């Protein structure tokens, strides 16, 4: 998984193990809502994040790279090898 910030509140993640539609529409994630543009916006522990899949990347709006590594990577359990 590669992560880099595109600006202060946008982070680009190259991860094949996270599929927003499958993750947020599976019935096990709550407070995530599909937006008209196909992205998902969620509220977790007072943090708001918008997640959109673009080709082989995931665009995260509302988080910095540092905040992503501290909070969201654990929330999405991205350190586990599901393959």
* Phi, psi (degrees; rounded to nearest 5) at 65: -60, -40
- Kindly state whether residue 82 falls inside one of the protein's structural domains: no
Identify the pLDDT of residue 2.
Answer: 64
Domain that includes residue 19, residue range: 2-75
Number of domains in the chain: 1
Cα–Cα distance between 7 and 81 in angstroms, integer? 28
Query: 């880099």: which residue's tokens?
Result: 4
Is 69 part of any domain? yes
Q: CATH number for the domain including 69?
A: 3.30.310.260
pLDDT for 1-35, tens place per residue? 566 566 667 776 666 667 888 888 887 777 899 99
Residue-wise pLDDT tens digits, 33-64: 999 999 999 999 999 999 998 877 888 899 88
The answer to whether the predicted template modeling score (pTM) of the entire model surpasses 0.85 is no
Both tokens of 37, joined, read 């543009």
Distance CA 64, CA 81 (A): 24
- Do residues 11 and 64 lie in contact, with contact meaning Cβ atoms separated by under 8 Å? yes
């Amino acid at each position: 998984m590669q992560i880099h910030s595109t600006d202060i509140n946008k982070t680009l993640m190259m991860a094949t193990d996270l599929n927003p539609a499958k993750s947020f529409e599976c019935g096990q994630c709550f407070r995530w809502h599909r937006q008209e543009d196909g992205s998902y916006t969620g509220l977790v522990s007072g943090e708001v994040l918008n997640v959109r899949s673009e080709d082989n990347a995931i665009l995260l709006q509302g988080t910095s790279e540092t905040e992503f590594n501290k909070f969201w990577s654990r929330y999405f359990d991205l350190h586990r090898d599901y393959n």
